[in-house]
Homo-oligomer: A and B are copies of this chain.
């Protein structure tokens, strides 16, 4: 039944192909009776308009590509959620790929999506990625592109971000207000812009509050995992017994810090105060509950699609589009890990 076409319907009903086509498209010059006959038969024959043929005509695939570092990640799965919801409202389907933080895989995936002729691409870059050839290729082909969260400043495209520097500054200032005088930072990898900005925010908050910056208090994650949090927590407390605060790149790693401190009986928040980043769901159910920076992940997905849609629409209508950057608001959520009152 899959190969049925307008022609077959026309044959069976003894009418012209044009009439069948008009009936399916709800043209007023086809009688209601004929239209009903066509629709009924089309349904019986499992006829659906051939979307590939439609695509050839309109040059739109109504499909976008999404490349993210990891699906199993509370932040990214919320973003995916926002993108899929918003895309669906506008009649777009989303092909999701995960780079597993591999630049090589990311390059291959961009190629796959370009060959698939997606109408646009949304990406959060892998840790090694920067303004590489695969990104240049997307732009030189004129395919609308939006980067979110892990972006590269070098790429001239629309972006949806938070002000990581400001958010980190506020997180560290929160620790200082709570009385911390010697604050360590477990940072993200060297390359991604958001890890750089959070580190700079940490430094700025120390500086503003006349706390000398000590590079020995900065620990760098390679993979941003729970296990790294556990390992670094142990190192920090062994190497700097008088540490009284830790600002951690993300909640998953901060939960590792808490797990270690629970085991070796370092009291949080009495002895060391901890603040994370991103507000993962589990942060509110662990003991002690983790203070963190709330990052509007679902909203980030929605805004990413909206920006992409705007650019796709401009492109379709031949109107020039100037890339824009949307910066979303963050806020500090105070919970038990920084509050000893």
Q: Which A positions have Cβ atoms within 8 angstroms of B?
A: 1-3, 46, 48-53, 55-56, 59, 61, 63, 71-74, 77-78, 80-81, 84-85, 88, 93-98, 109, 112-117, 137, 140-142, 226, 255, 258-259, 262, 281-282, 285-287
Q: Given known contacts A46-B141, A93-B112, A140-B46, is B71 in contact with A84 (CB within 8 Å)?
A: yes
Residues on B with C-beta less than 8 A from A142 are: 1-2
A93:B93 contact, CB within 8 angstroms = no
Q: Nearest Cβ in chain B — how far from A124, in angstroms? A: 15
Residues on B with C-beta less than 8 A from A97 are: 84, 88, 93-94
A71:B80 contact, CB within 8 angstroms = yes
Q: Given known contacts A72-B74, A81-B72, is B287 in contact with A262 (CB within 8 Å)?
A: yes
Q: Given known contacts A98-B84, A141-B1, A141-B2, is B71 in contact with A61 (CB within 8 Å)?
A: no
| Bound Cα distance from A59 to B3, whole angstroms | 9
Q: Nearest Cβ in chain B — how far from A158, in angstroms? A: 19
Please tell me which one of the listed residues B52, B59, B72, B259 contacts residue A285 in the complex, with CB atoms under 8 A apart.
Answer: B259
Residues on B with C-beta less than 8 A from A287 are: 262, 286-287
Please tell me which one of the listed residues B56, B71, B84, B259 contacts residue A53 in the complex, with CB atoms under 8 A apart.
Answer: B56
B96:A94 contact, CB within 8 angstroms = yes
A-B contact pairs, 13 of them (CB 8 A): A46-B140, A48-B114, A52-B55, A56-B56, A63-B95, A73-B77, A80-B96, A94-B96, A96-B96, A226-B281, A255-B285, A282-B286, A286-B286
| Bound Cα distance from A160 to B169, whole angstroms | 48
Residues on B with C-beta less than 8 A from A84 are: 71, 96-98
Residues on B with C-beta less than 8 A from A258 are: 285
Residues on B with C-beta less than 8 A from A55 are: 52
| Bound Cα distance from A52 to B282, whole angstroms | 44
5 more CB-based (< 8 A) A-B contacts, given A63-B116, A282-B286: A1-B142, A49-B115, A71-B84, A84-B96, A93-B95
Q: Nearest CB to that of A95 among chain B residues?
A: B93
Q: Nearest Cβ in chain B — how far from A117, in angstroms? A: 5
Most chain B Cβ neighbours within 10 Å, of A55, A78, A85: A55
Residues on B with C-beta less than 8 A from A74 are: 72
Residues on B with C-beta less than 8 A from A281 are: 226, 282
Q: Nearest Cβ in chain B — how far from A98, in angstroms? A: 6
Q: Nearest CB to that of A280 among chain B residues?
A: B282
| Bound Cα distance from A122 to B95, whole angstroms | 14
| Bound Cα distance from A260 to B255, whole angstroms | 20
Residues on B with C-beta less than 8 A from A137 are: 46
Q: Nearest CB to that of A3 among chain B residues?
A: B59
Residues on B with C-beta less than 8 A from A88 are: 97, 109
| Bound Cα distance from A96 to B66, whole angstroms | 10
Q: Nearest CB to that of A65 among chain B residues?
A: B93
Q: Nearest Cβ in chain B — how far from A297, in angstroms? A: 9
Q: Given known contacts A117-B52, A286-B282, is B81 in contact with A98 (CB within 8 Å)?
A: yes
Q: Nearest Cβ in chain B — how far from A8, in angstroms? A: 15
Q: Nearest Cβ in chain B — how far from A161, in angstroms? A: 21
| Bound Cα distance from A53 to B81, whole angstroms | 31
Q: Nearest Cβ in chain B — how far from A95, in angstroms? A: 5
B117:A50 contact, CB within 8 angstroms = yes
